Amino acid sequence: MYISICFASVASADELTWTFDDTAADWTPANGTWAVEDGVYKQTTRYGKAQKALANGAEWTDHTVAAKVRIEAGHWAGIVFRAQNEFEYYVYLICPKENKSELWRHRRSTAFKDGFEGRDEIEHDIAPIGLTLARNEWFTLRATLEGSRIALAINDIEQAVFVDDTYPRGKIGVWTWDTQASFDDVSVNGVNTTSLTPVEPHGKLATAWAGLKQITNSD
């Protein structure tokens, strides 16, 4: 049996999940060395410019994005949301070395020809509530976007809420800087503003559950 899934084309409510059991074919890396290994999406380049991978397809307005993040070496890794491109986006990250999380708004820099690495601090020192951040442990990061409101959580414990309206919509993704890290169970649900490519779920490809039509076929 297989299920073919067709999505509504514009401004639909959708939910997608990537478990990376097989591939990361729906993702486009920008910098770094990205590969699926042992059922997780890994970035293994330690140094260089910020490394990120963005999910192809939809841009999201109001939505929730979450992912399991594990830092193996280095300092900073997290989730990207409302990405305009590889230079302009928000990133919520954890820093086990200093036991904190941070929220940054990245922008295209005019100081360098390739656009890297302009960024603006929203908050660089969010003390963890109800947990201790450490390397080689999984933490689930979550960002909930409602208009200009950005609510951040780790392991379902709200950490902080901020307001910023620079990027009203965009893609989601995962991110590292000076860090080797793994990502798993990336999910997003909310309102998307672009067409989604129909997929046939299999292994760890994206699965959608809302705003869709299902056609079931059996042998």
Domains of the chain as residue ranges with CATH:
2-217 (2.60.120.560)
User: Which pLDDT score is estimated for 218?
Assistant: 38
In this structure, are residues 170 and 81 in contact, taking their beta carbons and an 8 Å threshold? yes
In this structure, are residues 128 and 101 in contact, taking their beta carbons and an 8 Å threshold? yes
Please give the backbone phi and psi of residue 194, each rounded to the nearest 5 degrees, phi first: -135, 160
Whole-model pTM: value is 0.82
User: Which pLDDT score is estimated for 6?
Assistant: 34
User: Which pLDDT score is estimated for 133?
Assistant: 98
User: Which pLDDT score is estimated for 14?
Assistant: 85
Q: Which residues make Cβ contacts (< 8 Å) with residue 146, sequence separation at least 6?
A: 62
Question: Mean pLDDT of residues grouped by 10 in the chain (219 residues)?
Answer: 34 84 94 96 92 94 97 97 95 98 88 62 94 98 98 98 97 96 97 57 39 34
User: Which pLDDT score is estimated for 193?
Assistant: 79
Spatial distance between the Cα atoms of 67 and 153, rounded to a whole number of angstroms: 11
